[in-house]
Amino acid sequence: MERWVWYAVLSMVFAGFTSVIAKLGLTGISGDLGLAVRTCFVFVFVLLFAAVVVPGRELGMLTATNLLWLGLSGVTTALSWVFYYKAIKAGEVSTVALIDKGSVVVALLLAWLVLGETLNAAKALGGALILAGLVVIASGR
């Protein structure tokens, strides 16, 4: 199995833990405060991680285009997290996390439209099944 697949699987596992741990951390506080505290930890951890694994010379390779797109990605990440934390504070993590994974469908479509990635039958069917699952989950409440 290719290395990137292992990274994706590890990302999935940690993301699953993240939601449950976050819900426990929100006890007695608002989702907004919880998100702010969590983000501080993420910021420090990622900076320390980068200090260890990113060669210093790579900083000079950053372009304005990199900063623009990564900055926009940061804004969309922040908006996703704001609404995710509001959702898990008020709702069930199991349902919110499943609905959140509808982002796979959005990513499939955007990767096809914007990046020119192949949208083959298997990806289209998988996306449709995810969407169908979301409808079942949302209507089962």
Over the stretch 82-129, which tens digit does the pLDDT of each residue have? 999 999 999 999 888 888 988 999 999 999 999 999 999 999 999 999
| Residue 29 in domain | yes
| Residue 88 in domain | yes
Average pLDDT, the chain: 93
- Determine if residue 28 is left, alpha or beta; phi over 0 gives left, psi from -120 to 50 gives alpha, anything else beta: left
| Residue 30 in domain | yes
Residue among 39, 132, 107, 109 at smallest CA distance from 78: 39
Domain that holds residue 75: 3-100
| Residue 107 in domain | no
Report the alpha-carbon distance of residue 127 to residue 129 in Å, rounded: 5
| Residue 126 in domain | no
Where residue 141 falls among pLDDT bands split at 50, 70, 90? low
| Residue 121 in domain | no
Where residue 138 falls among pLDDT bands split at 50, 70, 90? confident
| Residue 51 in domain | yes
Interval 2-13: pLDDT, tens: 998 998 888 989
Domains contained in the chain, number: 1
Where residue 34 falls among pLDDT bands split at 50, 70, 90? very high
| Residue 139 in domain | no
